[in-house]
Amino acid sequence: MHHDWFELDNGQLLITTEDDSHPDNFVMDVSEVINYPESSDTVYQLRMREVLDTTRVAIPNVNAQGANDDKDWFHNNRSVYDVRNQSFIVSGRHQDAIVSFVQSAAELDHTLELDDINWIMGPHDNWVEAYQSKLLTPVDESGNIIADVTANLEFWNWGAAFCFNPSRSAGRCQPCGLYYF
């Protein structure tokens, strides 16, 4: 487990893990639901490299990952489950992106596809054409589209390490929005 976990209503844990198929086992781009407390068996899994562009370099990126995919290109610090939309929301720090996936995409026998992505929140730089329709369009308080990244640096979720739904009642996540850090 890397950094944090999120408890689902049924007691299972949504955790971030390393990619065990990577030679140095250091690439944090997998989210799993384990059948805690009964066992540590994986019941759901999202492998970001199956659908996201591992060669995309987010700007600015303090880790300057290379196109040869030998570094921690995504760095998943936390994943949460949104009961409203029945979706998994994953924070990719090194991609400056928070990504929402449909729940069915996490079935163990499923390989992620572009249609499994609900949306991507983050700066629009360096995303290839295939992802453009998934990028959320930011607007200011007047409803005007925010397109100039340099003039609106404080708006974007640069290097977001953490996302969560803050409102809980009786242990259940309530519809309330998404916060990120």
- At residue 114, the 3 state secondary structure works out as helix
φ/ψ bin of 28: left (φ > 0), alpha (ψ from -120 to 50), beta (otherwise): beta
Report the C-alpha gap between 89 and 80 in whole angstroms: 5
pLDDT the model gives residue 62: 54
User: Which strands make up the sheet holding 42-47, listed edge to edge?
Assistant: 5-7, 13-17, 30-34, 42-47
- pLDDT tens-digit map of 164-180: 554 443 444 443 345 44
Report the C-alpha gap between 92 and 163 in whole angstroms: 10
Lowest mean pLDDT among 70-84, 93-107, 130-144: 70-84
Considering 21-25, 27-31, 35-39, 160-164, the range whose residues carry the highest mean pLDDT is 35-39
Q: What whole-number percentage of the chain has pLDDT above 70?
A: 62
Considering 29-38, 73-82, 129-138, the range whose residues carry the highest mean pLDDT is 129-138
DSSP one-letter code for 132: G
pLDDT the model gives residue 141: 82
Q: If you average pLDDT over residues 1-20, what whole number do you get?
A: 74
Question: In terms of pLDDT, which residue wins out, 68 or 108?
Answer: 108
Which own/partner contact pairs does 7-11 have at CB distance under 8 Å and 24+ positions apart? 7/171, 8/33, 8/81, 9/83, 9/171, 9/172, 9/173, 11/36, 11/37
pLDDT the model gives residue 23: 53
DSSP one-letter code for 147: -
Give the type of residue at 98. I
Q: Is the pLDDT of residue 100 over 90?
A: yes
